[in-house]
Amino acid sequence: MREIRFATMKTGVLALMMACSAALAGCGAGGEPEAAADSQISSQPMTSDSSTPATGKTEETKNAEAAAAETRTVQGEFGEVVLPAHPQRVAGIYLEDYLSALGVTPVVQWYHPNWGIQDYLKLDVPQFDTSGSPEALLAQKPDLIIVDGGADLAAYETYSKIAPTYRLPESILQDSKQILLAVADALGIPEKGKEVLAKYEQTVEKDKAKLQQTVGSETVAVVRLNGGEKTLALFGVKNRFVGSLYSELGLTPHPLVGNMEDYQQIISEEGLADLDADHIFVFPANGDWDSAENTEARKILDRPIWKSLKAVQNDQVYVVERSYWQSGAIQANLLKFDDVMEHLAP
């Protein structure tokens, strides 16, 4: 499975970031974030009229500042962290799907030069290149940062110099429903998390019942075309991008899929010959199908061995959109479920 990791920051970049943080700390009197003693940054909302003296703050501003001053302590993967009880400017690195599902617009959207952004979210916010400097994130003045397994301890410590950072516990990272509830709790809106989860589970229950009627025990496989390597990767049942198709919708994995211990495996010519699944979903790793890289890689699908597969012969191979098929988040799952229903239970 493709792992996304925050690049280790060089000493010079860290020094620059800490200098920027110190500069922001000096702006506390002007309503900008002010560094706390533990290097966390608490939010101090700006007044609607910058010329209004401190003694003439509106009741709305006073209430906002009081709310921002409230904190709570949670247990993250790397220890306890003090979070704002009512965060106003949240960054969810690799977790934007969950934020927007909960009605929260993140201050940035993660971007990686190799994989672009999560297009399906249609977010109109600045991009943060997770492979480079944290300055783009720092510039957005988040008062809370939430990260998943894509952030190791070094990255976590870097983020923590920008704002209070909650690294989700490793134990929940394979379960999108637990992640949803944990993110909602960190945002101080646990009831909203339960509401979103209830709707999600209603969709799962309805779709699963219909699929039992339409495809029953017919086998399913998910394959990714790796354009650069010109290979095909078969995703296993433990792959958190597509595992929900089997664990939640109740689809029957092809034996090659169901017996796989790895998240994914490159399929050899011999292995491909054994992939006699009834239904195959396929998408490219990066870019559009019509890109030069993918056009060349697609020649794999012109080989006699591919064309001999049962799913190909029966016209039961389905081309799907890569960005949400390579995410295991709540909204991404629902979009995958829509694709499944369109092709398997129209």
- Phi, psi values for residue 92, rounded to 5°: -120, 90
pLDDT at residue 91, rounded to an integer? 98
Contact 88, 45 (CB under 8 A): yes
Element (H, E) at 302: none
203-344 matches 11-188 in CATH topology: yes
Q: What share of the chain is helix, strand, coil (3-state, %, to 5)?
A: 40, 20, 40
Kindly list the domain boundaries of the chain, sorted by start residue.
Answer: 11-188, 203-344
pLDDT at residue 201, rounded to an integer? 98
At 136, list the tokens. Answer: 């783009």
pLDDT at residue 60, rounded to an integer? 65
pLDDT tens for the chain, 346 residues long, are 333 333 333 333 334 344 333 333 333 333 323 223 233 323 333 333 333 444 566 766 655 555 556 999 999 999 999 999 999 999 999 999 999 999 999 999 999 888 888 999 999 999 999 988 899 999 999 999 999 998 999 999 999 999 999 999 999 999 999 999 999 999 999 999 999 999 999 999 999 999 999 999 999 999 999 988 889 999 999 999 999 999 999 999 999 999 999 999 999 988 899 999 999 999 999 888 888 888 888 889 999 999 999 999 999 999 999 999 999 999 999 999 999 999 999 9
Distance of CA 50 to the CA centre of its chain: 36
CATH topology for the 11-188 domain: Rossmann fold (3.40.50)
Q: Which CATH class is domain 203-344?
A: alpha beta
Q: Are strands 90-93 and 219-226 parallel, antiparallel or unpaired?
A: unpaired
pLDDT at residue 172, rounded to an integer? 96
DSSP secondary structure code for residue 320 in this structure = -
* Closest CA relative to residue 143, chosen from 69, 67, 41: 41
Q: Which residues of 134-158 are buried (b: 16+ CB within 10 A; e: fewer)?
A: beebbebbbbbbbbbbbbeeebbeb
pLDDT at residue 58, rounded to an integer? 75
Question: 0.85 exceeded by the pTM?
Answer: no
pLDDT at residue 312, rounded to an integer? 97
Element (H, E) at 57: none
- Phi, psi values for residue 49, rounded to 5°: -125, 105
